Amino acid sequence: MDWESFQKHVTQNRKVATDYITMTYDNVVLFEFFMPLTNEGYLRTSLDALFFKDSVLTRLKTVDQQILKTKIPTQENESDDDYFQRICDKVSNTFGGYSISHVSGRYRADVLKSRQDIYSATAGNNIDSYLVDETTAVVKFIFPCGDFVESQFTSSTDYFDNISSDVGFDIPNADAAIIRWLFYTLFVQSIVQAVNGEDEIWMLESGMRNRLHIWRMNEN
């Protein structure tokens, strides 16, 4: 703790509470990525690449440029350098960080069977092949979309009345579409390609849309 912070705690003239400005977004996109803990290293490597401009640029320049410019059109008289800088600015303003947690779970690794069927098939000593315990790494991203309502924080009970949704913002579908595409291009593709051999990879999308995305191994 520095001297200025310490002084705020010890002085008798300190403020009773910190002053806050609230920024309330009506629209948000959330992604939760589920991976076995054994692949956490791949997760972190791919995630941390989003913090570095050179990694982002390298990834963007491997994308089909016609597709890229369809998803994010160029502006009039915009040079290539300015175009990529604008995308990097979007990434910088959007991908600020992530949270990762470990979740313990159990799942059934076969079709539904009775206890008798399982014990008969395994000689009574290998139920672990039917019920599997696994620790999962869950990575969460929260992306605000569009504009926000700004207000002075108060402890009054009318806070939610003051930020009611009748402000009139349109749902920023275009902004959300760009966020989804950048997230898929910069992160999802690289992690799915890097992790080899997993039966399934799950990604839960919520907020403006509620969808479950599953990458399942093609056994054909």
Domain hosting 39: range is 23-105+134-216
User: What is the reported pLDDT for 158?
Assistant: 65
Separation CA 47–CA 116 (nearest Å): 45
Contact 190, 46 (CB under 8 A): yes
The 10s digit of each residue's pLDDT in 102-141 is: 999 888 888 898 888 887 776 655 666 788 888 888 989 9
Sign of CA dihedral 189, 32, 139, 109: negative
Task: For residue 181, give the nearest of 169, 192, 170, 173 by alpha carbon.
Answer: 173
Report yes or no on 128 lying in a domain. no
Say which amino acid occupies 68.
Answer: L
pLDDT band at residue 189 under the 50/70/90 scheme: confident
12 belongs to a structural domain? no
Segment 24-35 shows an average pLDDT of 89
pLDDT band at residue 169 under the 50/70/90 scheme = very low
Largest CA distance in the chain: 75
- pLDDT score, position 168: 44
Tell me what pLDDT residue 167 has: 47
Residue among 210, 192, 197 at smallest CA distance from 34:
192
Question: Would you say the pTM of this structure is higher than 0.85?
Answer: no
Rounded Cα distance, 28 and 34, in Å: 20
Q: Is the pLDDT of residue 2 over 80?
A: no
| Residue 117 confidence (pLDDT) | 84
Please compute, for residue 102, the number of CA atoms within 13 A of its CA located in the half-sphere on the CB side. Answer: 7
Residues 6+ apart with CB under 8 A from 40: 100, 137
What is the Cα–Cα distance from 208 to 51, expressed in whole angstroms? Answer: 25
Q: Residue 140: inside a domain, yes or no?
A: yes
Q: Is residue 13 part of a domain?
A: no
What's the chain's average pLDDT?
81
Residue 98 lies in a domain: yes
At 50-87, the pLDDT tens digits run 889 999 999 999 999 999 999 999 999 999 999 999 99
Residue 87 lies in a domain: yes
Number of domain units in the chain: 1
Q: What are phi and psi of 166, to 5 degrees?
A: -85, 25
Domain presence at residue 172: yes
In a domain, 4, yes or no: no
